[in-house]
């Protein structure tokens, strides 16, 4: 009989290997403890995107849980690399701007703060639906890249217009206007 305190989401077969990427050591430690307790997982934590990329290649974890805002790159970039390796990824964030990106572009995400049981439940689902997750992140990244490309074009055109405006202003300043009709006085 369970006392209600035991973890509910335990994988019966092999131990899960998970990667947690979060620059906040308190958050990553809480996630590690929750995943170990609820999923009986082996969890490796890292704080930067660069180290996450190395660990994704070296460890090939069953899933990666990635903070959206890292000191050296975005969690979205790390998730993209995970998908190239066919590793499902879940973005975690509490930042309003990152939440908007997740919702708008369709990234799988978990909003901070969250309970360890919810984290474990979402992680289990993430692994069960790994192929769908990878496809979802690829589609989200494609949409985000399209928008980024469109924005680059807009910025390039805006810069061109600003430069044309500067040149026009310079020409106007060089021209001296004289009153028509000789003026009064």
- Mean pLDDT (the chain, rounded): 85
Confidence at 172, pLDDT banded by 50, 70, 90:
confident
Q: Which domains does the chain have, with CATH numbers?
A: 17-140 (3.40.50.2300)
Range from 11-20, 28-37, 60-69, 109-118 carrying the lowest mean pLDDT: 11-20
Give yes or no for residue 6 having a pLDDT over 60: no
Average pLDDT over residues 72-92: 94
- The Cα 100–Cα 22 span in angstroms is 19
Residue count (the chain): 185
pLDDT digits 0-9 by tens, 9-50: 344 456 899 999 999 999 999 999 999 999 999 999 999 999
Q: What is the pTM of this model?
A: 0.72
Range from 20-34, 51-65, 66-80, 134-148 carrying the lowest mean pLDDT: 134-148
């Amino acid at each position: 009989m369970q006392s209600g305190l035991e973890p509910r989401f335990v994988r019966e077969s092999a131990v899960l290997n998970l990667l947690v990427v979060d620059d906040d050591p308190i958050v990553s430690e809480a996630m590690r403890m929750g995943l170990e307790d609820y999923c009986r997982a082996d969890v490796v934590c890292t704080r930067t995107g660069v180290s996450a990329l190395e660990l994704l290649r070296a460890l090939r974890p069953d899933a990666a849980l990635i903070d959206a805002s890292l000191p050296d790159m975005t969690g979205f970039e790390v998730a993209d690399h995970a998908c190239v390796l066919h590793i499902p990824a879940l973005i975690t964030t509490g930042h309003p701007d990152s939440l908007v990106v997740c919702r708008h572009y369709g990234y799988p995400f978990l909003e901070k703060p969250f309970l360890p049981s919810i984290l474990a439940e979402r992680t289990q689902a993430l692994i069960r639906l790994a192929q769908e997750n990878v496809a979802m992140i690829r589609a989200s990244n494609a949409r985000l890249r399209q928008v980024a490309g469109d924005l680059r074009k807009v910025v390039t055109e805006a810069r061109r217009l600003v430069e044309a405006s500067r040149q026009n202003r310079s020409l106007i300043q060089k021209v001296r206007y004289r009153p028509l009709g000789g003026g009064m006085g």
